[in-house]
Amino acid sequence: MRWRDKKVTRQACHLSLKHLTAKQRQQWEAVNTAACDLAREVADKGDALVAGGICRTSLYAHHKDEVRIKKLFRLQLEIFARKNVDFLIAEYFEHAVEVLKESGEPVAATMCIGPEGDMHGVTPGECAVKLVKAGASVVGVNCRFGPWTSLKTMSLRKEARQAAELKAPLMVWSLGFHMPDCGKGGFLDLPEYPFVLQCWSPELQPDGIFKRTPEKPTTWGSGT
């Protein structure tokens, strides 16, 4: 099964678009609606599905008010429901799963964690079990680790799921490169971050397309 993830809406909540003007912030609903329409247009050209994806924002880090957090998720969910997306994706959180289940659509919940678990000491297995019990149809990992590390994390999740006698399918969104030396934060922990990929293989670049390596504004391992 192939699907199209409508990532444009991942953080498009009227309270999170702080970099926009007041008038533009009032148009957040139009932005999300247009993103749904674009994703559906592409999906209808082939055998694909449209996913309504919501992701964390810094706004959720400032408080732990479950009621307020769920209200923000519902604002995004209303548009997905109105545009009739095929399924919903929640990256990182439990409260979002509970809200998204209200739509009646399948919910895939992923966490950007590795084998060591999250920053609060919760193991990958515990995360998987909690997400399934919260109502997730599919659980997995995403985004910050390489293929082999992600597979190891998935193995831990599978063991915990089986031990809890749960049957939710598993999914993984791995990075396209390996990083066996990273910590809990994934690629963000590496001294090379942010990666300047165009500097890595200058011999593959025709002259004039990119600046030459000595002209780059940062040094290796600077993290800037």
Kindly report, residue by residue over 15-51, the tens digit of the pLDDT.
554 555 666 666 777 888 888 899 999 989 888 888 8
What is the domain range of residue 50?
4-182
Please say whether the dihedral angle defined by the alpha carbons of residues 43, 44, 46 and 49, taken in this order, is positive or negative. positive
Burial class of residue 222 (count of CB atoms within 10 Å of its CB; 0-12, 13-18, 19+)? exposed
User: Do 100 and 45 share a structural domain?
Assistant: yes
User: Which of 195, 202, 200, 201 lies closest to 175 in space, CA to CA?
Assistant: 195
Rounded Cα distance between 19 and 61, Å, is 18
Q: What is the pLDDT of residue 156?
A: 94
Mean pLDDT across 194-202: 56
CATH code: domain of residue 175 = 3.20.20.330
Residue 213 region by backbone torsions, left for phi larger than 0, else alpha for psi between -120 and 50, else beta: alpha
75-91 pLDDT, tens per residue?
Answer: 777 888 888 888 877 76
User: Do 101 and 13 share a structural domain?
Assistant: yes
User: Do 118 and 66 share a structural domain?
Assistant: yes
Q: How far is CA 178 from CA 79, 91, 148, 187, 190, in A?
A: 37, 21, 7, 9, 12
